[in-house]
Amino acid sequence: MNSLKSFVTGIFLWSILGGISAQDKALSFSMPDASGTLRLGIIENDSSRWLDAKQEHLNIHCYSLSDTKGFILEIENKTEDITLGWAFGGCDAITPETYIQPQYCKDNVFNVEGTQVTIYHGKVMQLKVTNLIVPPASSIRLSDGHKQHTPLELFTSGKKTDAPVLAATCLIRKGEKLYFCAYKQNAKADYADYMLPELFHKEKQQP
């Protein structure tokens, strides 16, 4: 497998090439141009935690996209039913980040239409756009990027903030696969949720 193809950021190189040694690496996925970071966690009743690179509950694979800047992520649940917590934000970061930094969320504006999320970010005269496709079962809220200690804290934090972050919960049943895709839209890259399994297979087969 071509490691350059599989590598979008070092944050998730483990998911393709078999692991990293750091014990406290957050399980997160950043756009190659730093225009957004996706974090994953697990919610169990009233407790929750962000996943790290040593998690054993889910099979997670990620590939960069051939036709644009971005990545596609497949999550397969190999254990019992799990409530996934996820967050996306920090779209004005300077370099790809392991965590969603509140200072890079200030001017991020999220437009959610079903599974399609459009994020407008950057300065007014230099507006940028990042697209995100999320699992259909996601319950999505605008949340406070200053309150990210756990997925539940973020999800219940409220939307009155100067650091807006998108947070969600999503049930993933045993044996089920879910997909995320973050990308820059262009003539060759204009996706919908039903296209993601085929897109993932295509990128997986790339040399």
pLDDT tens figures, 150-207: 999 999 999 999 999 999 999 999 999 999 999 999 999 999 999 999 999 999 998 7
Q: How many residues does the chain have?
A: 207
End-to-end Cα spacing for the chain: 7
pLDDT of residue 21: 27
**Residue 1 predicted with pLDDT over 70:** no
**Residue 12 predicted with pLDDT over 50:** no
pLDDT in tens, 94-108: 999 999 999 999 999
Q: Assign 14 a pLDDT band (cuts: 50, 70, 90).
A: very low
pLDDT of residue 167: 98
Burial of 79 (0-12, 13-18, 19+ CB in 10 A): exposed
Helix, strand, or coil here: 87? strand
Q: Assign 37 a pLDDT band (cuts: 50, 70, 90).
A: very high
Burial of 144 (0-12, 13-18, 19+ CB in 10 A): buried
d(CA 169, CA 173): 13
pLDDT in tens, 119-152: 999 987 889 999 999 999 999 999 999 999 999 9
Q: Where are the beta strands (DSSP E) in 20-122?
A: 28-30, 37-44, 47-50, 58-64, 70-77, 82-89, 109-113, 116-121
Q: Domain extents for the chain?
A: 3-204
DSSP-assigned beta bridge partners for residue 73 = 62, 180
d(CA 62, CA 49): 21
Average the pLDDT over 75-104 and give the result: 96
